[in-house]
Amino acid sequence: MTDPDHLPIAPDAAADRLPRHIAIIMDGNGRWAQQRGRPRGVGHRAGGQAARKMIEWVWNAGVPHLTLFAFSTENWERPGKEVKLLMDLFLRTLKRDMHELHKNDVRVQFIGDHGRFGAELLAEMARAESETRSNAGLRLNIAVGYGGRQDLVEAMRALAKDVAAGRLAPVQIDASRLAAGLALHDQPEPDLLIRTGGESRISNFLLWQMAYTELYFTQTLWPDFDAQQLNQALSWFANRDRRFGRVAELPEAARA
Ligand code: FPP
């Protein structure tokens, strides 16, 4: 019998129709726990396990970049107890899983504003980034304390500083200069966003970077999102007609 935790070697979608970069909003942990009459923390722990498996599946499927939205700038507004629980979970997960990720050649990077994080968590994050910096496998980006608006504000602030210092003329500001100041600027933009948990919104995730991302929404709660469902999302993506604002190839007579 196939182990459900291990994606069949090849996904159904052909290799040249796979996304290069998947971004995921892992929503529904709280409701998953609630449905089982358990506290929300149980759902977050199950969500952590699901994230761990997803990292392996995505790489096995042949997708080289993965960005997980683990904690948004808005999540600071959750009750203090839940915020602490999440911070403890991040720390424990890092301590427990980093060795395995490193062994599997995963390169880890954190994006977001980390100014409010505790010293121990910050130290583990820095260690994870520096230890895995030369790895050539999956590029795993973990968005924590991240907000798309904040990302844009920081990129704009850097440009404004260059203008104020006379290093840059306002007329020289263009999309590529702005993009160069954003998180993940050295990686391809996400081709596919997966959001679990039934909501159809992007909740201040990679606002600029997702201008042409294909959006896949599913009712499945994050801890239940398994390899088979990833496969379904990949098949859905493989059938998208991505035009990036252009028109499809038209027969001569139909051209304007
Ligand atoms: C959203 O579900 C989930 C979060 C805010 C936390 C995500 C964190 C994890 C999946 C665990 C750790 C992951 C890593 C990569 C270390 P929700 O709480 O909003 O669920 P609800 O909508 O059902 O209330």
Percentage above 70 pLDDT, the chain: 93
Q: Sheet with 107-111: list strands edge to edge.
A: 107-111, 139-146, 65-72, 21-25, 192-195, 214-217
Which pair of structure tokens corresponds to residue 50? 């699901």
3-state SS assignment for residue 34? helix
- Ligand 1 atom with the smallest distance to the CA of 142 is 15
Is residue 204 scored above 90 in pLDDT? yes
Residue among 25, 44, 54, 95 whose CB has most ligand 1 atoms within 8 A, to mutate? 44
Mean pLDDT, all residues of the chain: 94
Angle ∠(157,159,160) on CA atoms, nearest 5? 60
Is residue 228 scored above 60 in pLDDT? yes
Of 253, 242, 229, 195, nearest to 12 by C-alpha is 229
Instruction: Return the pLDDT at 206.
Output: 98
pLDDT band at residue 246 under the 50/70/90 scheme: confident
104 is catalytic: no
State pLDDT tens for residues 189-203.
999 999 999 999 999
Is residue 8 scored above 70 in pLDDT? no
Angle ∠(243,245,247) on CA atoms, nearest 5? 60
Which pair of structure tokens corresponds to residue 165? 């210092």
Enumerate the β-bridge partners of residue 21: 65
- State how far the Cα of 219 lies from the Cα of 42, in Å rounded to an integer: 20
Mean pLDDT of 156-161: 98
State pLDDT tens for residues 19-36.
999 999 999 999 999 999
Is residue 5 scored above 80 in pLDDT? no
pTM of the shown model: 0.93
Is residue 220 scored above 90 in pLDDT? yes
Instruction: Return the pLDDT at 1.
Output: 40
Instruction: Return the pLDDT at 76.
Output: 96
pLDDT band at residue 102 under the 50/70/90 scheme: very high
Taking a C-beta distance cutoff of 8 angstroms, is the pair 118, 87 a contact? yes
Is residue 253 scored above 70 in pLDDT? no
Instruction: Return the pLDDT at 251.
Output: 66
Mean pLDDT of 98-109: 97
Other beta carbons less than 10 A from residue 177's beta carbon = 14
Is residue 133 scored above 60 in pLDDT? yes
Distance (angstroms) between ligand 1 centre and the Cα of 26 equals: 6
231 is catalytic: no
- Ligand 1 atom with the smallest distance to the CA of 89 is 12
- Ligand 1 atom with the smallest distance to the CA of 40 is 18
